[in-house]
Structure formats: structure tokens, C-alpha cells
Amino acid sequence: MALSYIPPQVIDGKSVIKLDKIEVERETSKWKCAPIVYVLGASPGYNTMHKYISQTWTEIVVPEIFMIEKGYFIVRFQSVKDMQVIMFSGLYSISNKPLILKNWTKEFDFDQEFPTKIPIWVKFPSILMNYWGCDSLSRIASAIGILLFADECTTKQMRVSFARMLVEVDVTKTLPEEITFMDPNRKTIVHWVQGNEYAQAIRRRRRRRRRAPKKVVQKWISKEVEKLVVTTTRKTSPTTSPSGIITSRQPSPTLTLTNFPILQPTHVRNGFNPLVMSWGEGYTIPPNKGSQPIMVYDYNTGDKKNEL
């Protein structure tokens, strides 16, 4: 690839890059036989996808595989015929996950979070034999969505118990469970459609992906300091009436230096006042109550001095 400098054009004072139409069309034609592959509910790697295609699509030459971000692949076949052989064969899955194949278009946005228009296989059971014409099947399938093509058994009418066609539907909308059409005789026919479970699974998957994950925010919460509550209980003392009868219990007053009462001397029965008579220096004789005699001894000699 030999690149060269091509200066942009200036239009209205702005630099505008103008692409060559012939080259863009030539590059577009290279991807006409390259459908977009997406695995619903999984994002397999390149080696896994290459191994699956090599082992499953054995009836054609192994195509080129291009991996794109967000789980998309572009598979470029050798020819349009090889692409039709694979896409007309029916359903594919990897580890029970449906494999979605969609034709590549110039307007396809790979940055989209999840494709809203997806081709799904819709089964129309028990269609009458006279309704198996190409025009009739096209009208019936168009009631569901944009008809792409039918599978091989429906095209060749190898199986007439049901018709299966690939229809591009908008998974954001609820698909009908039945369709009503009118035959040439103006007879109304209600026909059941099978394929809603697959579309509902796609819609649920899309809602889960769009749901924003919950963010875990750490918040600092200070622990409350337990306050030490000191409770004091006052002792109550009974109050007496003038007659000496306890009337009620009242709390005793709190004494402080300001309201403390002046103490008065209390008279006792047995006093220990010093005697008027002193016997020697430092001696005091307690009063005699008359029960026992009091013996007085000399402090220095120990001789008995007197008896009271």
C-alpha cells in the first residue's frame, strides 16, 4: 500500500477532505459477500470463531475472518454463492448461544451498544399448500418484518409441514404472535407464528446490557461516641411530724459550705473532763463512779501514793 500526501480542499474557509467516489465504490464491492456475525450473549475470541467456522461450514472454502471490537466479526466469503449456502442453511449457535448473520451495509454502526434490527428465523406452521407461492409467502412474512429469504427446505419445498423464513425485525417492539390475512375469496385466516421466544430472548439481553450497573460508593460514617450518663440517687430520709410519726420520705438536702448549719455541743452522760486535783505533773485522774477503787502510783518510783 503506497500512501501519498493529498492536500485537503478549502471550502468556506474550512479544510474539507473529499474522498474519491470511484475508489469508495470499488472498496464497497469487496464487502458485498461479507456478512456481519454476532454471537448473542457471548463474545468469543478470534481463535474460537475460526475453529467453529472451519469445523461447521465444511461445504465451502474457509472464509476470511475479521474481528472487530464489541464482539462483532466480519466473515468475507470467496463468492456470493458461498455466502448464500451458509445463510440459507438455517440456524447456527455457539455453546447454545445464537449466531446472528446480517448482511453488511454502508450504514451499519459498529459503535452501537446493541443492534436493534436483527434477522431472526420465523416459522409459519401448517400453511395450506395453495399458499406456498413466492408472492404469497412474501406477503405472509412481510407482516412480521422485512423479509430477507427463506431456508433451503422452504425454497425447494422439501418440507411442507411449515415454512421458515429469515425476517429482519425490530427487537425493541413486541412481535405479533399471530397474523391475519385474507385469501382471494375474502376469507379471513388467522395464522400462528413461532419465533417470538427467540426475539424475546434478544430483547431481554438488550435490556440487561442497557441497564446501568450499580456503583458502589464508599461513605465514611463516624461512629457516635456514647455519652457517659451519670445518674445520682439521693437517699431519702423519713420526716417526722411533731408527734413523732413518720409522714413521708423526702430527699435529704444537699449540704454545701454556704448552707452548712452551725454545730452545737452535745451533752453526754459520762464526761472525761480533767479532775480539779492533779497528782503530779502530767497526771489527770478520771472521776470515780464508785464501782472500783482507783489506785494512784508514783510515776518515778512506782510506789502507791493514794487510793480514791
- pLDDT at site 113: 53
Does the pLDDT of residue 248 top 50, yes or no? yes
Residues 67 and 91 in one domain: yes
Asked if the structure places residue 149 within a domain, the reply is yes
Asked if the structure places residue 192 within a domain, the reply is yes
pLDDT in tens, 143-155: 888 888 888 888 8
- pLDDT at site 276: 45
Q: In this structure, what CATH number is given to the domain that contains residue 80? A: 3.30.70.330
How many distinct structural domains can be found in the chain?
2
Asked if the structure places residue 44 within a domain, the reply is yes
Residues 89 and 155 in one domain: no
- Tell me the Ramachandran region of residue 146: left when phi exceeds 0, alpha when psi lies from -120 to 50, beta otherwise: beta
Lowest mean per-residue pLDDT among 25-34, 52-61, 152-161, 249-258:
249-258
Residues 89 and 124 in one domain: no
Residues 163 and 189 in one domain: yes
- pLDDT at site 63: 92
- pLDDT at site 76: 93
- pLDDT at site 40: 78
Residues 96 and 55 in one domain: yes
Q: How confident is the model at residue 295 (pLDDT cuts 50, 70, 90)?
A: low
Asked if the structure places residue 88 within a domain, the reply is yes
Considering the chain, what percentage of its residues have pLDDT values greater than 90?
5
Residues 76 and 154 in one domain: no
Quote the domain boundaries for residue 87: 27-102
Asked if the structure places residue 158 within a domain, the reply is yes
Asked if the structure places residue 268 within a domain, the reply is no
Does the pLDDT of residue 257 top 60, yes or no? yes
Residues 50 and 94 in one domain: yes
Asked if the structure places residue 224 within a domain, the reply is no
Asked if the structure places residue 161 within a domain, the reply is yes
Lowest mean per-residue pLDDT among 12-21, 44-53, 145-154, 175-184:
175-184
- pLDDT at site 148: 85
Lowest mean per-residue pLDDT among 35-39, 99-103, 198-202, 263-267:
198-202
- pLDDT at site 32: 87
Lowest mean per-residue pLDDT among 90-99, 135-144, 227-236, 246-255:
227-236
Q: How confident is the model at residue 301 (pLDDT cuts 50, 70, 90)?
A: low
Q: Which of 201, 206, 203 is nearest to 173 (CA)?
A: 203
> Which of 69, 102, 135 is where one domain is finished?
102
> Which of 36, 70, 102 is where one domain is finished?
102
- pLDDT at site 190: 65
Considering the chain, what percentage of its residues have pLDDT values greater than 70?
63
> Which of 102, 132, 153 is where one domain is finished?
102
Lowest mean per-residue pLDDT among 107-116, 167-176, 188-197, 219-228:
188-197
